[in-house]
Amino acid sequence: MIKILRNTVMYVAVWLMSAVSILAQTTISGNITDALTREGLVGVSVQVKGKVVGTISDSKGNFSLTTTTPVPFTLVITSVGFETQEIQIDNGRSDLKIALKEQALMGQEVVVSASRVEESVLKSPVSVEKMDIRSIRETPAANFYDAIRNLKGVEVSTQSLNFSSVNTRGFSGNGNVRVVQMIDGIDNQAPGLNFAVGNVVGISELDLESVELLPGAASALYGPNAINGLLLMNSKSPFLYQGASAYAKLGMMSADNRSTKTTPFYDVAFRYAKAFNNKFAFKLNVTYLTAQDWQVNDYRDQSFRGTTPATGTRANPGYDGVNVYGDENSSGAGLASLRPTFTQLLGVPVATLNAINPSLAQLVGGVNQFAGATGIPASQLINDILLPNVAVSRTGYNEFDLVDYTTKSLKFNGAIHYRINDRIEAILQANWGTGSTVYTSSDRYQLKNFSMGLYKAELKGSNFFVRGYLTAENSGDTYAAGLLGTYINEAWKPSSPPASAGLAGLAQGWYPQYALTYAGGAFQAFVPAFQAALRAGQTPQAAYASALSAVNTNSQALHNAARGVADNGRVLPGDPRFNQIADQIKANPIPNGALFVDRTKLYSLEAMYNFSKLIDPKVLEIIVGGNYRKYALNSNGTLFLKKSDGSEYSINEFGGYAQVSKNINDVLKLTGSLRYDKNQNFAGQWSPRLSAVYTANKVHNFRASYQTGFRIPTNQNQYINLNTPVSLLIGGLPALWDNYKLREGGGSINIATGQPWSFPEFKPERALSFELGYKGMIAKKLLVDVYYYNTTLKNYIGGVLLRNAAIPQVVSMSSNYTGDIKTQGFGIGADYLMPRNFTVGFNLSNNTLNAGGVKMFSSEKNANVLDDGFQVGFNTPKYRYNVTFGNRNISNSGWGFNVVWRHQSEFNWLDILQPAFARLPQNNSQITIPAFGTLDAQVSKKLSSLKSILKVGGSNILGKQYTTGWGNPTIGAMYYVSLTFDELLNK
């Protein structure tokens, strides 16, 4: 018994000593200074390599760190603007003296987007663009999101001041769904729309640590929809970026087309972060922006009814202005649509008609009398003279009468971080924002009191993460301007009288009033001209032709008179009745009003593990991961199809991936990855990627990769059920086909080909891309980045225009193209470090759609129509280039500047915003976005005593106005002054 007790005590003692050894703490302290000035540096990060534990230096550069990580270990010392240092620690020390040198070399950035592991941007296996804190601070753009357009190969479609859609490598557009945008690992899409709403409810610039852009397919690691690119935005850790910071920006916006040419804008933000004992930290952010937005007033005629945008005016009876709403409502067959009704009136007794409308009775009586006297059939008179086949549209309202251009954005962000131990950190994060702005999609939408929340819980270490998040969208009081214009017209006078109104209703409908007024005027002009020709000796046939010519000559006046009568009593902006009608329509949900209702949610769970702790990364690096998503559609029937029980659909999808990398003698790195994804409505998708990076002389990096991407049809592609002024938009799933019985009866006709539509299976879109590139630092002064890519796109998700006898309007349905679409392009970037730290840079990108005989190096515009006539929304300028020149700290004076010249070539535009005629292959070539170039510039001064930076600058300072897409606003010049305070400011 004593022996057993003695052994037990010994075992307990050994266990306790082991526990003490495991929990043994090492304390490291010291001082960090600027190697040049010898002054203490504040806010420098001191972190144990491969762990989450770390601290920062205080206002004098002192730091102290306690860790349970057993020695030896490595400290990583980092700070914005300084070279990173690594120091091996073999035991506790309190005398570390660390001097940081300014980071003057380019190409030293570390990125994670390309491989989901940290690696040098020079050795990335694919193209990567990055903006760090300094480049964000030094941009001449008014905000970081606008600065993204200065990166190589980026196209931006600007729909308002704070709503832009970022894209790379073609197939651009408003509300781009081919580039995934993530904030701290959270997909920043609005779940009901499946695209990011610019930065309206995004991340605060004060809290932004870096932006990484990965052009091209990225689905192998990031899953669905990263088919054209990935935009990662990473926020600042409250452990590493502590204290208070704030900025205030005051500026002016100016453009000739605005109601008030020059108006102010205001942008303010505040951030505070605090850490306690290197275990617990929190941060709070608030940002507010308000301004009078860019405006649209493109009044060109896009109806293509005998006109083109270059020649059409409001003189066209079927006029459809680009930024005029309500005039999309057309009589279809034109005045001819009233022929059957008028023919019936010929048999109604004149006395009966006289009791309803004396003018109508006089016209009918005159036609019958004339036909009887001349022998000319009344039907001929109706077809040729009274009701010719001329399209007529209702009189619309300009956009500025229907929307509020006061744009606002209010964003809150909060996070709590807790370090459970040296290896694991727990995070609770909430991002919430609300805003009002205008954006372009199938209509021009007034986002009013729109809000979105992103809520995340995460556990992460240096080699893993597990996160779950919820994205909740609330459309607020958002409404469609096109529908608003249409319904205002219908409210004060319906286009057609109800069937129950009978003959008396002819005096109530806008189109009957227009048609009968035109007919009466035409008949009054025709009869005297016919009689005069007979008196002049002409034969009846010649007299008829002469009289018809006289009517046609006078047709413009006849149409003007008809519109005047039909528009009598029209409510106009400024009239209290107009506001009353508009408010009522904006409060009434689609389809009976213009209110857009969307409360869709996205639930997501994601995890990744890097086996570097178990396998020597010098031998192999293996990572595995997976995710699960659920979209819960909720639009109250205004956007998505309802099920038979009145509810809306939910969509589930999951995926998993693995990646293996092998580094051979730090000269050749081989990487292979494979991903599988499954959405409940579509077949599973495999996404492989292979890459190789060869490094010569440690500075020249040659890369080759084959990668795949895929895009699950968006929630709208699948289930949209929206009646717009242009067409009825429906998803491509069989549930929509059956809802409208599109396959029954005589079926549906493809308007573009005139052939019956066979309703093939709806499939995800796939991209197969091959890329070659080089990135290297030459003579430690010239950073060169060159790439070429070639992509084959399969199952392109576009739309087909259908005509069905049972549906009065055009049906625009999501569908696949069955052939392959080939694209290719290249990019060239060069940045040169001049004496005294001046830098000059240049980048050029080319994106070419292989269609219409267009060659990559030719000057021809990209087409939006393939050789077989199929239409694609490539919507991409063939060439873009940027030229930069700057110095962030001239001779260490604290003064800095940066200048950027941007240019892009002319290109064609194709979108569902346009009427069906404008989208036909023969007309689309005339829908062009002109080339433009802009100059952005800023001058800054570091105010060390105030821990602040003063910046004065402007974008498009030469005031050359431009637009980035059809129906989008005219962008003018912005000028601003900003003051940014950061108590941890060093460089």
Q: What is the pLDDT of residues 786-842, one digit of tens each?
A: 999 999 999 999 888 899 988 888 899 999 999 999 999 999 999 999 998 899 999
Average pLDDT over residues 210-226: 86
Q: What is the predicted pLDDT for the residue at 104?
A: 59
Considering only CA atoms, give the Rg of the chain: 33
pLDDT of residue 722: 86
Q: Per-residue pLDDT for 12 more than 50?
A: no
Confidence of residue 674 (pLDDT cuts 50, 70, 90): very high
Q: 874 is written with which tokens?
A: 């490539």
Give me the DSSP letters along 25-90: -EEEEEEEEETTT--B-SS-EEEETTSS-EEE--TTSEEEEEE-PPSSEEEEEE-TTB--EEEEES
pLDDT band at 931 (very low <50, low <70, confident <90, very high): very high
* Spatial separation of the C-alpha atoms in residues 764 and 680, rounded to whole Å: 12
Give the separation between CA 501 and CA 360, rounded to whole angstroms.
16
Give the β-pairing of 839-849 and 879-887: antiparallel
239 close to 283: Cβ distance less than 8 angstroms: no
CA distance linking residue 955 with residue 146, whole number of Å: 9
Is the separation of the CB atoms in 562 and 515 below 8 Å?
A: yes
Phi, psi of 487 (to 5 degrees): -75, -25
Provide the 3-class DSSP secondary structure of residue 764: coil
Residue 668 CA to residue 800 CA, distance in Å, equals: 47
By the 10 Å C-beta count (0-12 exposed, 13-18 middle, 19+ buried), 747 is classed as middle
Stretch 937-948: mean pLDDT: 93
φ, ψ of residue 710 to 5 degrees: the values are -145, 155
Phi then psi dihedrals of residue 150, to 5 deg: -85, -5
C-beta separation of 219 from 791 below 8 A: no
pLDDT tens digits for range 591-631: 889 998 999 999 999 999 999 878 777 778 999 999 999 99
Of residues 820 and 5, the one with the higher pLDDT is 820
Cis peptide before 72 (omega within 30 of 0): yes
Q: For the residues 318-339, what does the mean pLDDT come to?
A: 84
Longest dimension (CA), the chain: 144
Tell the residue number behind the tokens 């002192």, with chain if given: 62
Helix ranges (DSSP H) in 884-925: 916-919, 921-924
How much is the average pLDDT of 43-60? 85
Rounded to an integer, the average pLDDT of 91-112 is 74
Please report the pLDDT score of residue 6 as a whole number: 47
**Distance (Å, whole) CA 171 – CA 865:** 12
Tokens for 270?
């505040």
Q: What pLDDT score does 34 carry?
A: 85
Q: Are 634 and 599 in contact (CB under 8 A)?
A: yes
Which residues are paired to 824 by β-bridges?
Answer: 790, 848
The percentage of residues in the chain with a pLDDT greater than 70, rounded to a whole number, is 95
What residues contact 676, with CB distance under 8 A and at least 6 apart?
A: 655, 656, 657, 684, 685, 686, 687
Report the relative pairing of strands 721-723 and 728-730 from DSSP bridges.
antiparallel
Give the integer Cα–Cα distance in Å for 893 and 885: 18
Q: How long, in residues, is the chain?
A: 987
**Does position 335 have pLDDT exceeding 90, yes or no?**
no
Q: What is the DSSP letter of 742?
A: T
**Three state DSSP letters for 590-645:** CCCCCECCCCCEEEEEEEEEEHHHCCCCCCCEEEEEEEEEEEECCCCCCCECECCC
CB 706 within 8 A of CB 689: yes
CA–CA gap between residue 789 and residue 726 (Å, rounded)? 37
Calpha distance 156→880 (Å, rounded)? 11
Cα angle value 58/63/69 (rounded, 5°): 140
Top-confidence residue, 730 or 913: 730
133 φ, ψ to 5°? -60, -40
Tens digit of pLDDT for each residue in 247-279? 999 999 999 999 999 999 999 999 999 999 889
Please give the residue that has the higher pLDDT: either 219 or 554.
Answer: 554
If residue 845 lies in a helix (H) or strand (E), which one and from where to where? strand 839-849
The whole-number pLDDT of residue 4 equals 42
Percent residues over pLDDT 90 in the chain: 60
